[in-house]
Copies of this chain bind each other. A is one copy, B any other.
Amino acid sequence: MTDSKPMRADARRNRARILAAAEEVFAERGASASTEEVAARAGVAIGTVFRHFPTKRDLLAAIMKDLRRRLIEKAEALIAGGDPATAFFEYFTFLVGSSAGAGAVVSLLADEGTPIEPGEQIMALDHVFARLLDAAREAGTVRADVRLDEVMALLTAVTHGALAAGWPDDLRHRTVNLLLDAFRPR
């Protein structure tokens, strides 16, 4: 979009490394982990991190963006190839279990006041989710009166909760299953 120059090969490799390292570090230590540690884990110097992401906030935002992208891809795969009646539930479950990395990052939404994302990406995730939800509704496996924002709200809450509180797998499974029941018609 705004890519004036194509970016050198090693630069792109560094960018990817940093992103990966950052996701790990922030997931382990929370959003207050130091940028220095990210650099170390990525095997680059601190200056390099700031060249790619002028601000710590930018780095965090990039992680979120990256994560969203992967989640959207997964959703699209489910939309394309899954069973509409169950895809929604599968996806919800998958998200809570998988977002290890993201959850920690999300937490900074609470720590800092200002939102961190371009919005457009959120819309995209909302969009695929809406499609899964609609499909399930049509298939009759989700109540007609369940709205998207409620689903997203619960998703966010449980995702973060699972990570922040470190729910063991067993608890997470039971909790999510219980919650999903709320969506089912009675």
A interface residues (Cβ-Cβ under 8 A, vs B): 28-32, 104, 107, 109-113, 146-147, 149-150, 153-154, 156-158, 160-167, 171, 174-175, 178-179, 181-183, 186
CA distance A183 to B32 in the complex (A): 36
Q: Are A110 and B107 in contact (CB under 8 A)?
A: yes
Copy count, this protein chain = 4
Q: Are A174 and B147 in contact (CB under 8 A)?
A: yes
Which residues on B sit within 8 Å (CB–CB) of A166? 110
A147-B174, A157-B162, A160-B160 known; 18 new pairs, CB 8 Å cut-off, are A28-B113, A32-B32, A107-B164, A109-B164, A110-B166, A111-B111, A146-B178, A150-B174, A150-B178, A154-B158, A154-B175, A154-B179, A157-B158, A157-B160, A160-B164, A161-B161, A181-B182, A182-B182
* A158 CB to nearest B CB, Å: 5
Known contacts being A32-B111, A111-B32, is A150 close to B164, with CB within 8 Å? no
* A87 CB to nearest B CB, Å: 20
CA distance A127 to B146 in the complex (A): 32
* A168 CB to nearest B CB, Å: 10
- Taking CB as reference atom, which chain B residue is nearest A180? B182
14 residue pairs bridging A and B, Cβ less than 8 Å apart: A28-B113, A110-B165, A110-B166, A147-B174, A149-B171, A150-B174, A153-B175, A154-B178, A156-B161, A157-B157, A157-B161, A178-B182, A182-B182, A186-B186
